[in-house]
């Protein structure tokens, strides 16, 4: 593609940074982030990034593992793209300066839940996300073709004739300044704004994860899919100041204990502590219910050696960030097990895209956790999230560079959905009662969390429909986005009368073959199809 374009990229995690860097080879890029450039979900990713990088591993096994974890809802074509293109994208990260951990001069292997092979790569022990983030941030800051707008909130996506033409931006106040609203036009917008962990009372996500991109895309008419599937990480530190305890800790051999010091996951699943995440999270939740809500214990006191000094050295070296965080909270996990609880971690659903990041709105693209490519199905395989962001951001940017140009497959029509039930965010509001963020989070945790049922979901949805968010600031806009997404999640969770992956209904505890399909919702009566060619329709 010879025409020089101006592309806006929203979000500064791995997906946004990779897209911006690739696009800058040929186009002008504006990277918009609502906080500082280096603040994103990516920087908090501990576990690692999965890819076939070893001679005794193979792509087909990675595909099988991903499909198995996805509980029958993965798009096989999307999974194949992920696993086949992943190894070369890892080499790209290395070229960008990411230094993955090595043992004896070779890339170090890590095993995580539901993988049949130890294919998970780490950097800085348990600081993989931070290592990737800082390497890419450095590359972006050194690139003159990329303009970075920090502390800039995306309020909405601008459309004309059902096409994306830019963004409604609000500058976050700094040093006492007032919020400033402005319209920003561009030839295309790529959403890479991350997930929505702040929907829930307990989450491993940072405060920026309020689902702004997905909410804005929905309001602009984009289709969303699989929104009922939220993955709860089994092991967050049960502490007022919570912290993620990586899956890799269990991969190294740590075990889960009940209140009496006994292992319990062996009776839940043959994989025990290394079963798929949804199973481990539910196993912990059930055990906590059996012990009056008390957290279970994660025992890492036997890792790395038989003596306490050996264990202490291993934990400090292998998991430096976790070790420091645990000790700051007054615990010594080399001597005693630590309390853990499940927490909202990753959203499998999002803005529906094809294999190149194209949404159902022309000129609007989505990558990373904002997008729903079909890769993860109903339950993401551990350490596939960073890989998906990397692979699909690279592919999406390739469209703008004249690579991978291919017609998009026709998307199925969305499920019937009353747009009026979820659309109103901006004044005037119909509802008289207001709800705050804590209220939304409590509703979601209790009704649409690890376990769900029709009674709780119906009650929560009625409460969400009868309330509104008072919008006076950017923080209120974030809460309003969560309010919209909460209505979407509860609506889809109520509609799916089965249990599958990250969606567990205790009134429908088994999977139903009739539900081996995605629920797709859109805020319109007639779906907009992704155009096959050209890439950019005329304005």
* Tens-place pLDDT, residues 226-280: 999 999 999 999 988 888 898 889 989 999 999 999 999 999 999 999 888 788 9
Choose the most confident range, by mean pLDDT, from 107-116, 143-152, 269-278. Answer: 143-152
CA–CA gap between residue 94 and residue 59 (Å, rounded) = 20
- Peptide bond preceding 534 in cis form (omega within 30 of 0): yes
Q: According to the model, what pLDDT value does residue 46 have?
A: 65
Domain boundaries, the chain: 12-194+348-400, 237-342
Closest CA to 527 of 189, 221, 165, 214: 221
* Token code pair at residue 56: 């005794």
What mean pLDDT, rounded, does the chain reach? 89
In DSSP terms, 371 is beta-bridged to 351
Question: If one looks up domain 237-342 in CATH, what number appears?
Answer: 3.90.700.10
The dihedral sign for the CA sequence 426, 427, 431, 437: positive
- Peptide bond preceding 428 in cis form (omega within 30 of 0): yes
The 3-state secondary structure of 270-328, one letter per residue: CCHHHCCHHHHHHHHHHHHHHCCCCCEEEECCCCCCCCHHHHHHHHHHHCHHHHHHHHH
Q: According to the model, what pLDDT value does residue 140 have?
A: 97
Which of the residues are catalytic? 277
CA–CA gap between residue 29 and residue 148 (Å, rounded) = 8
Q: What is the pLDDT of residues 29-81, one digit of tens each?
A: 999 999 999 787 677 666 699 999 999 999 999 999 999 999 999 999 999 99
> Which residue is listed with tokens 């459309």?
159
Please name the residue ranges forming H helices in 125-257. 128-141, 212-219, 247-251
pLDDT at 428 over 80: no
CA–CA gap between residue 131 and residue 123 (Å, rounded) = 6
Q: In the chain, what is the greatest distance between 2 CA atoms, to the nearest angstrom?
A: 69
What φ, ψ does residue 385 adopt, rounded to 5°?
Answer: -70, -50
Which architecture characterizes domain 12-194+348-400 according to CATH?
3-Layer(bba) Sandwich (3.50)
């Amino acid at each position: 593609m010879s025409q020089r374009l101006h592309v806006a990229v929203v979000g500064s995690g791995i997906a946004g940074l990779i897209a911006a860097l690739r696009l800058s080879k040929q186009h002008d890029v504006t990277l918009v982030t609502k906080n500082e450039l280096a603040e994103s979900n990516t920087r908090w990713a501990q576990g690692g990034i999965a890819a076939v990088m070893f001679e005794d591993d193979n792509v087909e096994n990675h595909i099988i593992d991903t499909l198995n974890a996805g509980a029958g809802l993965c798009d096989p074509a999307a999974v194949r793209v992920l696993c086949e293109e992943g190894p070369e994208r890892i080499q790209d990260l290395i070229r960008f300066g990411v230094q993955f951990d090595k043992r004896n001069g070779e890339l170090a292997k890590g095993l995580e839940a539901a993988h049949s092979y130890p294919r998970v790569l780490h950097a800085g022990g348990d600081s993989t996300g931070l290592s990737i983030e800082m390497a890419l941030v450095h590359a972006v800051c050194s690139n003159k073709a990329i303009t970075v707008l920090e502390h800039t909130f995306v309020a909405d996506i601008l459309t004309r004739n059902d096409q994306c033409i830019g963004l409604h931006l609000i500058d976050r106040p700094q040093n006492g300044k007032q919020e400033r609203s402005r319209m920003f036009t561009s030839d295309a917008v790529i959403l890479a704004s991350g997930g929505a962990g702040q929907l829930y009372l307990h989450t491993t996500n940072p405060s920026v994860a309020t689902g702004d991109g997905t909410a804005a895309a929905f309001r602009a008419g984009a289709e969303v899919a699989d929104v009922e599937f939220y993955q709860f990480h089994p092991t967050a530190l049960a502490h007022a100041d919570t912290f993620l305890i990586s899956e890799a800790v269990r991969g190294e051999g740590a075990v889960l204990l009940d209140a009496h010091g006994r292992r319990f996951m062996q009776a839940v699943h043959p994989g025990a502590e290394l079963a798929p995440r949804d199973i481990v999270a539910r196993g912990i939740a059930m055990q906590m219910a059996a012990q009056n809500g008390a957290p279970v214990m994660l025992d890492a006191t036997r890792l790395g050696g038989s003596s306490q000094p050996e264990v202490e050295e291993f934990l400090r070296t292998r998991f430096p960030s976790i070790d420091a965080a645990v000790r700051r909270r007054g615990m010594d996990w080399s001597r005693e097990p630590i309390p853990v609880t499940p927490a909202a971690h990753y959203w499998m659903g999002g803005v529906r895209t094809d294999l190149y990041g194209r949404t159902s709105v022309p000129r609007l693209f989505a990558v990373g956790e904002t997008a729903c490519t079909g890769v993860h199905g109903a339950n993401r395989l551990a350490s596939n999230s960073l890989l998906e962001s990397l692979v699909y951001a690279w592919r999406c940017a390739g469209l703008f560079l004249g690579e991978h140009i291919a017609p998009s497959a026709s998307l199925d029509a969305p499920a019937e959905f009353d747009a009026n039930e979820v659309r109103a965010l901006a004044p005037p509001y119909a509802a008289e009662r207001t709800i705050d963020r804590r209220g939304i989070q409590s509703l979601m945790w209790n009704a649409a969390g690890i376990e769900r049922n029709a009674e709780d979901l119906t009650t929560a949805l009625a409460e969400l429909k009868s309330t509104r968010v008072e919008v006076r600031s950017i923080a209120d806009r974030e809460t309003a986005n969560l309010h919209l997404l909460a209505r979407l999640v509860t609506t889809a969770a109520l509609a799916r009368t089965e249990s599958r992956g990250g969606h567990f209904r205790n009134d429908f505890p088994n999977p139903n073959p009739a539900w081996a399909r995605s629920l797709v919702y859109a805020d319109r009566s007639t779906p907009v199809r992704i155009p096959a060619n050209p890439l950019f329709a005329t304005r």
